[in-house]
Homo-oligomer: A and B are copies of this chain.
């Protein structure tokens, strides 16, 4: 095991896959010598050169479209968008091309590409650079959606994403980039569709996504002092979703809070709540609570931003409402 940040873990996973499989290559803006806007690709350029770590023009449409084309003919591109907010410029390539190609062609195409996208607030980057857009992607049949929260999971799930034969939307949290944790020297792929229980508890299940996992853990810790036992479940992948794990947890705790950084309205929390309201109705002893960002664009001023985006206090407050 080695201690590394999430950003380093991602880079290590990229390195090991590039080493293992020469079909893997990277493309994106400033991913080369510059090392990536958040430093994630780092020294990969000096190791693999400009053929395999490709600096693109500022052309998100071309970045994703080229990844689709290259994947369809046998490569394994890993494309980086500088911010997930810019997927708006490549939505067609994701939604109408990557996601649907296999199906439209009657199963005769495979599109093994990974699209890495940093999301979330916390750095005063304002409305066009702070969104969390994973919910859109979960509404697109044909793509898988991954949203890890620890260095180990970033590494292992990125390996799985690259090896997957389908387009994978890989969401990376900007604030977590700097968070440290243990990662195996040789990174093993981690399975999609398997939740991780970060903390066991009996009174309430908190399903937290990505960057909200540490916040949920902090809330759980705080509430433990008051004798409230919180189970924190991180689904890790949204598509496929580990519905069984969520159901099992709710069957035990009989209460559910769902947390994500994306705006609350029509966030993926709604999907999880709706599944539980259908499939676990008899287990539920209390209303299902959702904690998400207020339904507003992310403001620039850090005080306003903190007010808009969820945190441990808000999660604790939501939990208290139902236990």
Chain B contacts for A268, CB-based, 8 A? 266
Instruction: Evaluate whether A287 and B279 lie within 8 angstroms (CB atoms) in the complex, with A103-B127, A138-B265, A266-B138 already known.
Output: yes
Chain B contacts for A309, CB-based, 8 A? none
CA distance A91 to B92 in the complex (A): 9
* Residue of B whose beta carbon sits closest to that of A286: B281
Q: Smallest CB–CB gap between A111 and chain B, Å? A: 13
A288 at the binding interface (Cβ < 8 Å): yes
A118 at the binding interface (Cβ < 8 Å): no
CA distance A295 to B274 in the complex (A): 15
Chain B contacts for A128, CB-based, 8 A? 96, 100, 104
CA distance A216 to B19 in the complex (A): 56
CA distance A173 to B267 in the complex (A): 24
Asked if residues B278 and A270 are in contact (CB atoms below 8 Å), the reply is: no
Asked if residues B274 and A281 are in contact (CB atoms below 8 Å), the reply is: no
A141 at the binding interface (Cβ < 8 Å): yes
Asked if residues A277 and B273 are in contact (CB atoms below 8 Å), the reply is: yes
Chain B contacts for A288, CB-based, 8 A? 274, 277-278, 281
Chain B contacts for A262, CB-based, 8 A? 139
Chain A stretch 272-322: residues in CB contact (< 8 A) with chain B: 273-274, 276-279, 281, 284, 286-290, 295-297, 299
Chain B contacts for A290, CB-based, 8 A? 274, 278
A58 at the binding interface (Cβ < 8 Å): no
Task: Contacts A103-B297, A142-B297 known; list 18 others, CB within 8 Å.
Answer: A89-B92, A96-B128, A99-B297, A100-B127, A103-B127, A104-B127, A104-B128, A135-B139, A138-B265, A141-B263, A265-B271, A266-B268, A269-B274, A270-B271, A274-B288, A278-B288, A281-B284, A281-B288
**Would you give 11 A-B contacts (Cβ < 8 Å), ordered by A?**
A88-B95, A88-B96, A104-B128, A138-B265, A139-B265, A139-B267, A274-B288, A277-B277, A278-B290, A281-B284, A281-B288
Residues of A in contact with B (beta carbons under 8 Å apart): 85-89, 91-92, 94-96, 99-100, 103-104, 126-128, 135-136, 138-139, 141-142, 239, 262-263, 265-271, 273-274, 276-279, 281, 284, 286-290, 295-297, 299
